Amino acid sequence: MREHLILRLVSKFLIPFIILFGLYVQFHGDFGPGGGFQAGVIIAAGCILYGLVYGLEALRQAIPQSIVITLVALGLTIYAGTGFVTMMLGGKYLDYQWLAHDPAHGHHYGILIVELGVGITVAATMLAIYYGFAGRGEPTDS
Amino acid sequence: MLLVLLVVTALTIVRVRSILAVVMLGGIYSFLMASVFLVLDAVDVAFTEAAVGAGITTVLGLVALSLTVDREKIPSHNALLPLAVVVVTGAVLLFATQDMPNLGDPNAAPHQHVAPRYIEETPRAIGIPNIVTAVLADYRSFDTLGEVAVIFTAGIGVMLLLGRRRKRKPEDSE
């Protein structure tokens, strides 16, 4: 799709807003609709749009595959790790009220951290699936 | 009206032989479904449906399509048995909906169980306005942890199945 000038320009204009909206959904999920799952998918869709328009190599340079693999595991580690942190602070597994002095604040922090973990894993997994499919067609083309 | 459009889209998906059109119609179907959820006041579900069903599934479908041909093969087997299975399953599901409570009935079992407690407690104990997020990430955080583990497993599985070939390629050429 490298020759489509309009597509390239429009997507170049849109992608920052897509990522920004993804971040808004991610960190505003406790006030409005949305959360980690939706945010991760939106951010991954923005990155995949970049890959579709500018080519897989450009996306690989922006987000290397090794980092994606690390992020898939990192998100789950953040989620599961939050549970162990609350255990170390004296509570039960994933018992957020120990994260801050005020139990309500603790719950709020816990939700934000856990949603961040969800978002990272979802976005990275979607990108990994895209890399897996798109990379498969490549060697036969070249 | 929305449900009529849903049925029309589903029938078109069955009829059309071009897979590209099927992927696009799948996206349209998801958006219609999201509108239905929106009408039912399930904003979070509608959002998920629009982002996952219409967004990423369509994109991944297009990517997968670029690896294969655009035309669906004309099936050689008889369509009667699948049709019978679909009709019987549909009839059973319709029969099952007879026992479901009416939409928005405050005396229905799901609204009597833990839901009132969530609605009463969330503003005080957790202090966030979106109760859906509170239920997902706090009251039911073990379930969500399991879901994330499922997504993690799916990602690892795809990488192991599809990602390997790239690394072996240079070794083969040596």
CA distance A104 to A96: 9
Best probe of the B interface among A126, A138, A140, A141, by most B CBs < 10 A, is A126
- Burial level of A34, CB count in 10 A (0-12/13-18/19+)? buried
Q: Where are the alpha helices (DSSP H) in chain A?
A: 5-27, 36-54, 56-62, 65-88, 103-141
Residue of B39, B56, B32, B37 whose CA lies nearest to B47: B37
The ipTM, to two decimals, is 0.82
pLDDT tens for chain B, 174 residues: list them: 888 888 888 888 888 888 888 889 999 999 999 999 998 888 888 988 888 888 888 888 888 887 777 777 776 777 788 889 999 999 999 998 888 877 777 777 777 777 787 887 777 777 777 788 888 878 888 888 898 999 999 888 888 887 655 544 444 443
For B3-12, what is each residue's pLDDT tens digit?
A: 888 888 888 8
Question: Does B59 sit within 8 Å of A45, measured CB to CB?
Answer: yes
Residue A141 has pLDDT above 70, yes or no: no
* Residues A45 and A130 sit within 8 Å (Cβ to Cβ): no
* Residues 112-141 (A) with a CB less than 8 A from some CB of B: 114-115, 117-118, 121-122, 124-126, 128-137, 139
Question: Does B156 sit within 8 Å of A121, measured CB to CB?
Answer: no
For A4-26, what is each residue's pLDDT tens digit?
A: 788 888 988 999 999 999 999 88
CA distance B160 to chain A (A): 9
Best probe of the A interface among B37, B56, B131, B171, by most A CBs < 10 A, is B56
Instruction: Give the start-to-end residue ranges of the domains of chain A.
Output: 5-141
Question: Does A69 sit within 8 Å of B159, measured CB to CB?
Answer: yes
Residue tagged 């009251």 (tokens): B139
> Would you place residue A138 in the very low, low, confident or very high pLDDT band (cuts 50, 70, 90)?
low
Out of B55, B133, B162, the one facing A136 most closely (by C-beta) is B162
Question: Does B148 sit within 8 Å of A118, measured CB to CB?
Answer: yes
Q: How far is CA B129 from CA A95, A117, A137, B42, B133, in A?
A: 20, 21, 46, 15, 9
* Residues A99 and A16 sit within 8 Å (Cβ to Cβ): no
Question: Does A121 sit within 8 Å of B129, measured CB to CB?
Answer: no
Residue of B45, B67, B73 whose CA lies nearest to B162: B67
Q: Which two tokens stand for residue A115?
A: 């949603």
Chain B residues close to A115, C-beta within 8 Å: 133, 137
A22 vs B: CB within 8 A = no
Q: What pLDDT is attached to residue A131?
A: 86
For A25-79, what is each residue's pLDDT tens digit?
A: 888 877 878 788 889 999 998 998 888 888 888 888 888 888 988 999 999 999 8
Residue of B78, B90, B88, B72 whose CA lies nearest to B25: B72
- CB count within 10 Å of CB B22 equals 19
CA distance B20 to B26: 10
* Residues A58 and A51 sit within 8 Å (Cβ to Cβ): yes
CA distance B17 to chain A (A): 23
Chain A residues close to B137, C-beta within 8 Å: 35-36, 110-111, 114-115, 118
Residue of A105, A97, A114 whose CA lies nearest to A29: A114
Q: Which two tokens stand for residue B139?
A: 């009251």
Chain A residues close to B165, C-beta within 8 Å: 136, 139
Residue tagged 């939706």 (tokens): A38
A64 vs B: CB within 8 A = no
CA distance A6 to chain B (A): 19
Q: Which two tokens stand for residue A100?
A: 């801050």
* Residues B57 and B65 sit within 8 Å (Cβ to Cβ): no
- Burial level of A46, CB count in 10 A (0-12/13-18/19+)? buried
Question: Does A134 sit within 8 Å of B166, measured CB to CB?
Answer: no
CA distance A114 to A118: 6
Length of chain A equals 142
E strands, B1-146, are: none
- Indicate the residue type of B10: A
- Residues 6 or more apart in contact with residue A84 via CB below 8 angstroms: A93
Q: What is the DSSP letter of A142?
A: -
- Indicate the residue type of A26: Q
Find, in chain B, the residue whose alpha carbon is nearest to that of A74: B152
Residue of A44, A60, A56 whose CA lies nearest to A1: A56
Question: Does A75 sit within 8 Å of B59, measured CB to CB?
Answer: no
Residue tagged 């959820």 (tokens): B37
